[in-house]
Structure 1
Amino acid sequence: MIEDMYITGVKLQKNIADRSSYVFSLPVIRNLDQLKLNKKITFFVGENGTGKSTLLEAIAVNMGFNAEGGTRNFNFASKETHSPLHQSIVVVKGVRRPRDGFFLRAESFYNVATEVDRLEDIRISTQKRFIDNYGGKSLHNQSHGESFMSLVLNRFRGNSLFILDEPEAALSPTRQLSLMVKINELEKQNCQFIISTHSPILLAYPNADIFVLNDSEIRLTVYENTEHYTITKQFLNNTEKMLSYLFEENC
């Protein structure tokens, strides 16, 4: 229900003084009027370069999350590379406020794992071990996929907002299914997810909104109409034929 949501929409400010950043040349950003979020689980999909991660990052930073990822209490930067878009959007908030949350982005997860280790090293000895919030073991001492799932299973909790940028990057198909199970559990515990993905598995999550970003607009669509679904289905149903076509094209 929309009254249970922490973010109900995103819109671009009308009067932006400085449009020199490259992000304002992206058609999807330039044409962003108001994006209404109606479901607790929202997916952004689209071709590389359409602005999915840029928009997701802007929402996260606007909501107080660290640009490289983490909770709203994380405050580190290996390099300031995030766009100024967060300053030019309005995030429309719901009546409720999230108790907690996490911004997970695949490309900078290494930096988040390093920050978790640093915070564990400086904790006061009488306090509960900080690393216990992440499974009790350094995220660096696990495989990429294991560390992702350790974070999700141990740090993600109810009444929270989660913003995930391509979480499938480190996950096998089986682990992606496990992630879906956890998302379903957390949805029932008053959590909201906004996810950028290329995964046809994650996109199958029931009763979610899927927004396709292309060169001109952000458009709501259904799972079966996404390129991710149609191409994957065609490939699996006609593998030899598609491979033959692809390789003949490159001869």
Structure 2
Amino acid sequence: MAVATPAQLNLDESPSWGSRDVDCFEKLEQIGEGTYGQVYMAKEKRTGEIVALKKIRMDNEREGFPITAIREIKILKKLHHQNVIQLKEIVTSPGPEKDEQGRCIDGNKYKGSIYMVFEYMDHDLTGLSDRPGMRFTVPQIKCYMRQLLTGLHYCHVNQVLHRDIKGSNLLIDNEGNLKLADFGLARSFASDHNGNLTNRVITLWYRPPELLLGATKYGPAVDMWSVGCIFAELLHGKPILPGKNEVSWIY
């Protein structure tokens, strides 16, 4: 996995980012886990605000932290919209053990954990959909789809591809507000971009045919295919293209 050093984050643009310790927060419970690391529901000790702490997994990184995390942070720093999850700040935990000369004993000066602090959302769309007997009403579907399309349009206007639209990445609060989340696979793009992009993105059930067939030049249309899958899933009550692998999905 590609890695980078903290200097590449350009946190000088926001001096407070990275200056606070994770001990400013009280972890209440773990609410998620994946290849990226753990996600915790936490409370800011000074204000009592409830937030989500996303820990960036560093176990196998000896020279820095994953370039995917760098991209996610940089992208979220420039996106400010009511239907896009807000990255509030970056906090750190104490670094590695040092000797008397201040040198890192294990040779990795970036071993301290890094956490992304997000606004807290109560649910995700998949979790709500999986509740026994749950069927969304037409007004609810219209409300969620409007918010999803509004947030995604904002991303595309700002030249960001999400590349992982799925129910678990659509967060919803108890008032019905929906926000796009998890920009770990997102990429900035330009309308005149001629370079190749990886086609190993987007969860299989929501991946468009052109990516399955190996396309490396694409744009916002790949996100829109995923949105269409979400729309049909809300109406149908279950995923409409649940292939077990790429071959079964195509055929």
Same fold, TM-score > 0.5, yes or no: no
Higher relative contact order (CA 8 A, sep 6+): 1
TM-score between the two structures when normalised by the length of structure 2 = 0.26
